[in-house]
Structure 1
């Protein structure tokens, strides 16, 4: 029995000698009982100081006299070092070694009053942390340069707050105006580029046209994300709460993301449901859109994205599941931080890492719950929990239609926008579709130029922010003069729920700037269908 115990002790001591960390045990009088070979190597002390019975203070005094503990009286420094290692039940400390390396010490008191000390060379880790901090500082500098527009918006906001009553309605109006000013030129560029893409097919310039379009899309996403963050942080978003059908949201998702998924050769499956939920329709849609956009962006061709909802007690769990690149559990908090992107995700797709930051803010603003499960290399599941609405009396939202193959040739369209560049770009795009287009910058120009003499529009595309009136009032004026059945769409950079609600109340569709050609064509086809139905009824 004694021989077995001796053999076990020898084996354990040999095993400890192979551990990369230095380990030493001291008795209650702080005298060395045993240590492994690595302990002496890392401390770089003479063999006589590693013998059993050596006081901890002697070891500390040796390294202090060597200068490891910094400038000052060696006796005092040694005493302080012993105090640091023994002052509490467990301590962690760092100091430089004799060769300038960073040593990290872990000490723990034993039940009998003894002390266990282990330490390791963490120089590589500390250097990596320092380099990461430097990279982060550099990134912050680049982000600051790229977000000059956001800084300008915030500066204007401060001026507006000082001059206004600082109430929420003023904030909302200011952000709507800022969004309009920033997105107007981008909208014109997108329309011109869409026309170029359609006309460049087969000419050798189509690749260049698509590259320009992709760059403008990236600018649009960044600008919209930054504006959303500003509106959320400034408290300009005032969530509402109405019952709506999940099916309506799924239809919108199908229209918006099915073409993108098809282009990336990704299977996008939407599971139909009759469930209804309670919440802010537009803000919930924004959360889901961001989650699906990320899922498609970080899923490789041939992968799958599944979207659906199921009842869980008193709540509905809305799932966005993908077979994308995924990430490990330690990275969960990182993906929700602003301007933060995982290395493998940054290699796979462009972006600034703002989408999930906006999701986190919106979830917080709405008081909802978001769950996340992910496995690196296998995919992710984001689950948003919404209050279940049991009543079956939920007004369905008008379903958007996918971009149809409808022939728009000869369709008479009146475009009204206070920006001439946007009108020119819109005429080029719609003219390429075969539409008969007339345009004006205001109602006054319509009357002055006699646009409606001998020519009546089948539908109107109306800007919201006109110089002398709102687009909603302008549509009412046209309906009074042309006919109450005139189909109309509000084309606006104002994404506030108030404007959308006012438009819906007047039977006016909404297309947000910058305009996506597919969404615009789908809206025009839908409005043309409404016109035909009105004529049949008449």
Structure 2
């Protein structure tokens, strides 16, 4: 039987090289007896010299470590056998255990082709400590992520609740604004009607100037209220654009009706250029924009000046221009023009106001997704240009009769039924219409019409109907009247509700809309238009 090689058989150079390796290394023969080992092997395991001699069985080394307690608690013999089995059971193993000094040792064992065994190991305490710290940090990070996720989930939930509350508040605000616009504008409407009658009757008297001053004050109040309500509606999202095909000429005709008297009173030449274009817009909101632009143009143009309103095709869009020869402004003042409650010094000297008109214009243009351009020269004039999408032409609208340019133009000689749930408004309306030469009957409700038989032997040429009645809507009341006195009855809805929905409902039923507070010129124009729709007496029942 061949004797195992001794340490003297190992090349000195090889042993010297092994001693320079930082890991402990030991080589065992097929009988698991030590062939050679390096100094690091002895030092890391803290072995006595006798156990690092060539020929020392692996079991003896394991038994020494087990007896010393390096392999854990228990029977040293059993622990030694288990340790040897772990190192030799398979071709290669990687194991870790604590060393005698509490350090972590990592062992790599490999079986040699001749059955021998190579064992190497190293002190991996620092690496294990770093791995455990990294694991702890990962766990801590996961905990923080979970905590942050929970926090974000809670915040998102709170934001959702806050958003729901904000939406509810906006809806409440919208309902409040609708009620406020009606309740606040109702008495103002009555005052405007009374004042209009007073102005016409006070002409050429000492009260004329007083009446005109009252009218100017009421107009200022109406403008302020209308502007503030419009801004609140836009900012709260209550204004929802409803685009549809609109004859541009209808918009221009309305401008002529509303601002013609104002321009003539100020000796300003207001020119409206006719157009056969059809644009795709929200009629009510575009009308509001153009009203504000034209109103500003007239306000800030000196007597003898000119204001031009018209449309020009620019590519696939129409450019609506409002051009004036007014005070103008320089480029540095552009942003100031659209700021709330901001007015240029020269403009403030020319006309009263809060500086809200162009702020509303900018908000509406943004809400509609349109483009507004402006060009101006100080002391020369200004051009505001609104670009509108074009759509296919509509059938030409029927003309509704001549437009009265002044509130004291002739007599109307019409039979008019007025229905409103405010007695003061009825009295004021009756006074104004009677002064215009109309035969007027008034009622607070349909029940009063039926109870007092107001329509027996008296067929109205047209009806002026409030929208918010006590027991029904004005549109339903008009339908009832048409059913009972004739389907050809021309009608106008006189209302403080300026929403696009009400206007759309009225248009669907062939009913004109006059907004409160009622401007006498606009009312007279509407009445003249409705009078043109009358059916001759002999054809009413045809």
TM-score, normalised by the number of residues in structure 1: 0.66
Distance 1:443-1:287 versus aligned 2 partners, 3 A rule: same
The 3 A distance-change label for structure 1 pair 506 and 518 is same
Matched-pair contact (CA < 8 Å) for 2:174–2:236: no
1:486 aligns with 2:469: no
Report which of the two structures shows the higher radius of gyration computed on alpha carbons.
2
Q: Aligned ranges for residues 37-116 of structure 1 at < 5 Å? A: none
- CA offset at residue 205 of structure 1? 0.9
User: Secondary structure of 1:465's match?
Assistant: coil
User: In the alignment, is the contact (CA less than 8 A) between 1:401 and 1:523 conserved in 2?
Assistant: no
Deviations 1:456-492 (A, max 9, x none): 3222111000011100111111112211111111110
Deviations 1:62-89 (A, max 9, x none): xxxxxxxxxxxxxxxxxxxxxxxxxxxx
Counterpart position of 1:210: 212
Q: Aligned pair in 2 of structure 1 residues 189, 524: CA closer, same or farther (>3 Å)?
A: same
Matched with 1:520 is: 523
- DSSP 3-state at the match of 1:530: coil
Distance 2:319 2:536 in 1: 38
Give structure 2 stretches of 5+ with no counterpart. Answer: 1-163
Q: Kindly tell me: are residues 226 and 163 of structure 1, through their superposed partners in 2, closer, same or farther at Cα, counting changes over 3 Å?
A: closer
CA distance in 2, matches of 1:500, 1:388: 22
1:256 aligns with 2:258: yes
The answer to which of 452-461 and 279-288 deviates more is 452-461
Structure 2 match to 1:439: 442
Q: May I ask how many residue pairs the two structures share in their alignment?
A: 375
Q: Decide whether aligned partners of structure 1 residues 451 and 502 sit closer, same or farther in structure 2, where only a CA change above 3 A counts.
A: same
Say if 1:278 and 1:394 are closer, same or farther in 2 by CA, change over 3 A: farther
Aligned to 1:467: 470
- Deviation track 1:391-418 (CA, whole Å, cap 9, x = no partner) reads 2345648668521646323x22111111
| Cα deviations by residue, 1:429-455 (Å, 9 ceiling, x for unpaired) | 111122121111111122222222332
Gap runs ≥5 in structure 1: 1-160
Q: 1:519: how far off?
A: 1.4
Distance 1:532 1:485, change over 3 A: closer
Q: Report the counterpart of residue 118 of structure 2 in structure 1.
A: none
1:374 aligns to 2:354 (yes or no)? no
Pairwise CA distance, 1:533: 5.2
Residue number in structure 2 paired with 1:408: 412
User: SS of the residue aligned with 2:234?
Assistant: helix
Q: Tell me how far apart the structure 1 counterparts of residues 399 and 283 of structure 2 sit (CA, whole Å).
A: 13
Q: In 2 relative to 1, CA 248–165 (structure 1 residues): closer, same or farther, beyond 3 Å?
A: same
In 1, Cα distance between the equivalents of 2:451 and 2:390? 54
Q: Could you say if the C-alpha distance between residues 171 and 213 of structure 1 is closer, same or farther in structure 2, counting changes exceeding 3 Å?
A: same
In 2: Cα distance, 1:433 partner to 1:162 partner? 52
Partner secondary structure for residue 377 of structure 1: coil
What is the CA-CA distance between 1:275 and the residue it aligns to? 2.2
- Seen in structure 2, the aligned counterparts of structure 1 residues 279 and 450 have a Cα distance that, compared at 3 Å, is same
Distance of aligned partners of 1:397 and 1:383 in 2 relative to their CA distance in 1, 3 Å threshold: farther
Q: Deviations over 1:343-372 (max 9, x none)?
A: 111001000000000000000000111111
Distance 1:490 1:397 in 2: 19
Question: What is the aligned partner in structure 2 of residue 74 from structure 1?
Answer: none
Secondary structure at 1:374's aligned position in 2? strand
Q: 1:535–1:303: structure 2 CA closer, same or farther, 3 Å change rule?
A: farther
Residue matched to 2:63: none
Contact 2:411 2:438 in 1 (8 A): no
- Correspondence for 1:16: none
**Which residue in 1 is equivalent to 2:393?**
392
Bigger drift between 395-404 and 491-500 goes to 395-404
CA positional deviation for 1:526: 2.0
SS in 1 for 2:326: coil
Q: 1:455 aligns with which of 449, 454, 458?
A: 458
CA RMSD for the aligned pairs? 2.2
- Following superposition, the deviation at residue 518 of structure 1 comes to 1.4
Cα–Cα, structure 1 residues 309 and 439, in superposed 2: closer, same or farther, change >3 Å? Answer: same
The equivalent residue for 1:333 is 335
* TM-score, normalised via structure 2 length: 0.66
Partners of 1:262 and 1:378 in 2: CA distance:
21
The answer as to whether partners of 2:247 and 2:278 remain within 8 angstroms in 1 is yes
- Counterpart Cα distance in 2 of 1:363 and 1:533: 45
Give, in whole Å, the separation in 2 of the partners of 1:245 and 1:521.
22
Residue 509 of structure 2 aligns with which residue?
Answer: 506
Matched, 1:324 2:346: no
Q: Tell me the CA shift for residue 174 of structure 1.
A: 4.3
CA offsets 1:94-125 (integer angstroms, 9 cap, x no match): xxxxxxxxxxxxxxxxxxxxxxxxxxxxxxxx
Q: Aligned partners of 1:233, 1:165: CA distance in 2, in Å?
A: 15
Counterpart secondary structure, 2:533: helix
Contact 1:248 1:399 survives alignment (8 Å): no
